[in-house]
Chains A and B, each alone.
Chain A
Amino acid sequence: MNALASIPHLVSLVIFLPAAGALVALLLPSDNGVKWTALVTMVVTFLLSLGLYAGFDPAVSTAEAPQLMAKVNWFPGVDVSYFVGVDGLNLLLVMLTTLLGPIVILSSWTYIGKQIKGYYTLMLLLQTGVLGVFLSFDLVLFYVFFEITLIPMYFIIGIWGGENRVYAAIKFVLYTLVGSLLMLVGVLWLGFAAGDAINGGVFTADWYQLVSFGVPLGAQGWLFFLFLLAFAIKVPLFPFHTWLPDAHVQAPTGGSVVLAGVLLKMGTYGLIRFTIPFFPNAAHQFAPLLAVLAVVGIIYGALVAFAQEDAKKLIAYSSVSHLGFVVLGLFAFTTEAVQGAMFQMVNHGISTGALFLLIGMLYERRHTRNMADFGGIAKTVPVFTFFMMLTVFASAGLPGLNGFVGEFLILIGSWKSSAFSVVFVILATTGVILSAVYLLWMVYRTFFGEITHEENRTIKDLNFREIGLMVPLAALMVWLGLGPAPFLDKSEAVVQAILNTAEAKARAVEAAAGQPDAIVQVPLRWPDTVAVTE
């Protein structure tokens, strides 16, 4: 793996290999060729990303530049660059994305029956977009990738989706676009302000410069909301979540897996990468508001999930609930809570991705997702049932599996937090219980009890391909649950650095509030000692 890490331009290779694969797939005449190209490209991308994992050293400071970085000026005359690299914040999300890549391709192998070339080409392009989002250290570059992901997803929902696909696809794009375009104005304002203050009058979109720049108090409020809106819609945070159930229910399985697995993480990632460290004063000021929305999302999402008849819709609402936890953790501003939130992003990608895969497999067998159409199939499909139970336990946060670690860290971190009242933490805890209830209720109704429909006696169990794509996810659920420390170590230092810097900057900005010409600059503060588990 270390040999992989020494490949030159490894980060760029990981980002653009899927796009290159898309170009090849587009030129191939046969559907089988397209499928295999997609699969091979995704697998190779995953293998290359192992090089990122091996090459990243959490003990080395990324206070001044990310590791394995590449930086080339993009817009002449201003500090807008092609600036990519790895740090603790994005590493695991990149790994999650590259891991889900081949799984999504395999899950679509027989599910997608029409326009095969288009589907796989778009999936590959989507992969490039998502990887670009996570690996960018330039705000404009990030924005470009953030928007690129909309195009393939629009077609994936709109062409291969269900009955109401057009409505869902347009709603998905328009919702995201409102947020992201408003954020663009924020990006421009911030870039010019930071450029004037700390970059000699030259516009800058460099993350390291922007993170060190103390935005004046007067501007922080509205900029915070421009950035927040874009990411809150993406997460999605209550009350901006209404596009999500539509998009999920209509999207084909592969689309749902990518959507839940990684696209939503772009929102929570944006919050911790940009919104919180850029505007720390506003983030502190509005943390109680965010806590309210997060907790409402947790409980409302759980209750609505409970009421669903369609299993896929249930999982979609469970995402609203689970991502509420992540937002709560991020706005607690304690290392434990933010670490838990980072970990929970990965967990949610794995377990919800797996849930969508399983529901998709069920749908392929019976062409219905209505829970009332099933019941008692555990006897006919034991292997299926095993994976379903494991995934549901992971998603519900059973100790020993991955979901527990993330939720537990978020809850204790939020308990310690001074950003909002413990009442929110107590309320959020009820969400954990509710999520166990609706998920187990779903499994009970679908897999256990008496067989009520004759068709269900002949359902086929998972085939070799399906087991193959579930095994890595199942293994990770156990691995992350039993030994989370090495994974948490990756992000610990950078999370501390971001929280420390944000706090120091918040104080400095407050101190400078009276002086109109004061310029606040606080470079990223690397924590002195970080325990790294060997």
Chain B
Amino acid sequence: MYDFLLPDIAATAPILIVALMGIVVVVVDSFSNDNENIPWLAGAALVAAIAIELARLGTTDTAFMGHVMSGGFASFVNSVILLGALATVILSVPYLSKIGHNYGEVHALVLIATAGMMVLANAGSLITLFVGLETMSICLYVLTGLVREDPRANESALKYFLLGAFSTGFFVYGIALLYGATGTMMLAEMPAALAESGRTGFFSGGVALLLVGFFFKVSAVPFHMWTPDVYQGAPTTLTGFMSTASKTAAFAALILVLSRVIPLADIGSDTQFLLAVVAAITMVVGNVMAVAQLNVKRMLAYSSVAHAGYILTGLAAGVVGYAGAMYYLLAYTVMNIGAFGVMATLEWDGQQGAEQTVDSLAGIGFRKPLLGVAMGVFMFALAGFPPLAGFFGKYFVFAAAVDVGLTWLALIGVLASVVSAYYYLRVLVAFWMKNPEDAPASVQSEAFPVPLFTKVVLVACVVALLVLGIVPGMVTEVAGAFFSISESAAVLP
């Protein structure tokens, strides 16, 4: 009797597979505590979901009366999120075992968070947007505090939760105002409703509050304060997950909202200018603060703030920048997961992550050449050197900015990049240019293996960064097809 639901279920199959597997994992875990096959279950669900999404890249569809999108844009973003989740599961198993926290529920939480991210990134209405956002956030709060005997982890989880709840308040209030201004929750109906009613104070207020919520989630300045503490306190591989997949989901949702509420005719509008200013401040503050960090995880946290600024540059450019921003999200996910993966492998006893300074890594490249070369690629990619994908991401967002006349923003962006090169290169100085004998004695004596699966993920990330860089058209062409520049506002189905 619910036959009419079947097409909807088919259209959202990847989300459902991941969410259901999350529940299966919880059940399995309750009968057989921390069963070692749980990661395989999680991995299988993620691989299946990726396969479906990749096959659907060329299609577009909606489900549940337009509340959820599928295919095309949604598939692209979901693929990025799922790839990030898959890499996280693989990297987490040896890492969490080493720190003694390889619980079954970690994988359940990762899966459910992933499902939440996908809902957020595929939202067709403000309601789904909010549901996805909360599903994702609550799982991430728990994952942050995973190492519950470590006061630092507790601090970061609590901080994340309190500030997250606060930003959710802004978010909901923004939704309420937008609904009041347009009379609809559906994003696709917004442009028409907006054309009818015009831009009222309610509407602008709603957009502003919604943006505050988004800025918090993507850690844009001045809403980034939580990022360094949370990233430093959370288990390293899960930090990688948070900094990539959740950011991808939030940025995708932001694109969904912006492409509807800021019509093309409004390029140069106040909202656009606001985005550009936030992007500029985020790039500058993120990069300058990162220079001062001696702890590598904290440095990577500020670097992820800076990268949010680059992506916002693409968003500030409007429709012409969205494809570039999506390319950037993919590139950023690959290089950041890789960088956190290397750092996780380098945590000898699990407690050092929070204290791991640049100096304690002296000469590590000579002892572990694979990690050293991979880190070299990730750092140069993050710094934006060709022929790696990181460069082309920056190229596309800056090109979009110059195209719409935001040349000043591109100039600030490139100068901020120069600053970033300094701290990324400093990591490589430690890896390759210091003598292994300079490292603290306790670090030198530690022998640690690099698990096979970790090697596979890191090598895959390196290869992906090279391939994405040498053939960037592969991705930009796909991503560019989702946005039509000729139509005035409704660039997405």
Give residues in A with beta carbon < 8 Å to B.
Answer: 74-77, 115, 140, 143-145, 147-148, 150-151, 154-155, 158-159, 165-166, 169-170, 173-174, 177-178, 181-182, 184-185, 188-189, 191-192, 203
Contact = CB atoms under 8 A, between A and B. Distances in A.
B414 interface: yes
B90 interface: no
B437 interface: no
Given A174-B421, A177-B421, A188-B399, 20 more contacts: A74-B473, A75-B472, A76-B473, A76-B476, A76-B480, A77-B480, A115-B366, A143-B386, A144-B391, A147-B391, A159-B432, A169-B433, A170-B425, A170-B429, A173-B425, A174-B422, A177-B418, A185-B402, A188-B410, A203-B403
A169 B422 CA distance: 11
A290 to B, nearest CB: 23
Contacts of B432: 155, 158-159
A527 B471 CA distance: 39
B385 A185 contact: no
Contact of A181 (B418, B425, B473): B418
Contact of A173 (B402, B415, B421): B421
B33 interface: no
Nearest to B425: A170
Contact of B402 (A143, A144, A178, A188): A188
B410 A185 contact: yes
A192 B320 CA distance: 13
Contact of B386 (A147, A165, A185, A188): A147
B433 A159 contact: yes
Interface string B248-280: 000000000000000000000000000000000
B411 interface: yes
Contacts of B386: 143-145, 147-148
A166 B433 contact: yes
Contacts of A115: 366
Contacts of A158: 428-429, 432-433
Given A173-B421, A181-B417, A189 B407 contact: yes
Contacts of A144: 386-387, 391
A147 B395 CA distance: 13
A169 B426 CA distance: 11
A184 B414 contact: yes
B380 interface: yes
B231 interface: no
Most buried by A among B391, B415, B417, B418: B418
Given A170-B425, A177-B421, A189-B407, A184 B398 contact: yes
Contact of A166 (B387, B429, B472): B429
A177 B398 CA distance: 16
A165 B399 contact: no
B434 to A, nearest CB: 8
6 contacts: A144-B391, A166-B429, A169-B425, A181-B417, A182-B415, A203-B403
B477 interface: yes
Nearest to B404: A192
Interface string B385-396: 111000100010
Contacts of B417: 177, 181
Interface residues of B, number: 32
Nearest to A141: B386
Contacts of B380: 151
Nearest to A77: B480
B385 A148 contact: yes
A75 B323 CA distance: 13
Interface of B: 366, 376, 380, 385-387, 391, 395, 398-399, 402-403, 407, 410-411, 414-415, 417-418, 421-422, 425-426, 428-429, 432-433, 472-473, 476-477, 480
Contacts of A169: 425, 429, 433
Contacts of A147: 385-386, 391
B398 A185 contact: yes
Contacts of A173: 421, 425
A315 B480 CA distance: 52
Main secondary structure of the interface of A (DSSP, over half): helix
Contacts of B426: 170
A77 B415 CA distance: 28
Main secondary structure of the interface of B (DSSP, over half): helix
A280 B385 CA distance: 30
Contacts of B366: 115
A148 B385 CA distance: 7
Given A166-B433, A189-B407, A203 B399 contact: yes
8 tightest A-B CB contacts, nearest first: A181-B414, A144-B386, A188-B402, A76-B473, A158-B433, A76-B477, A185-B410, A188-B399
Contacts of B410: 185, 188
Given A74-B473, A188-B398, A189-B407, A181 B480 contact: no
A177 B415 CA distance: 9
Contact of B407 (A151, A155, A170, A185): A185
B385 A151 contact: yes
Nearest to B402: A188
A391 to B, nearest CB: 32
Contacts of A188: 398-399, 402-403, 410
A410 B398 CA distance: 40
A203 B42 CA distance: 44
A348 B385 CA distance: 29
Nearest to A161: B433
Contacts of A143: 386
A247 B418 CA distance: 19
Given A151-B385, A185-B411, A192-B403, A75 B476 contact: yes
Contacts of A165: 433
A188 B392 CA distance: 13
A81 B399 CA distance: 16
A177 B384 CA distance: 10
A89 B429 CA distance: 38
B426 to A, nearest CB: 8
Contacts of A154: 425, 428
Contacts of B480: 76-77
B415 A170 contact: no
Nearest to A189: B402
A76 B478 CA distance: 10
B379 to A, nearest CB: 10
A189 B398 CA distance: 10
A184 B395 contact: yes
A147 B432 CA distance: 20
A174 B428 CA distance: 14
B33 to A, nearest CB: 45
A77 B477 contact: yes
A248 B418 CA distance: 22
A74 B476 CA distance: 11
Nearest to A191: B399
A154 B395 CA distance: 22
Contacts of A189: 402, 407
A484 to B, nearest CB: 36
Contacts of A77: 477, 480
Given A159-B432, A185-B402, A188-B398, A174 B418 contact: yes
A116 to B, nearest CB: 13
A376 B407 CA distance: 61
A103 to B, nearest CB: 26
Contacts of B376: 155
Contacts of B422: 170, 174
Nearest to A170: B425
A191 to B, nearest CB: 8
Nearest to A147: B386
B339 to A, nearest CB: 17
A84 to B, nearest CB: 15
Contacts of B385: 147-148, 150-151
Contacts of B415: 178, 181-182
A67 to B, nearest CB: 26
A184 B385 CA distance: 12
A166 B395 CA distance: 28
A75 B473 contact: yes
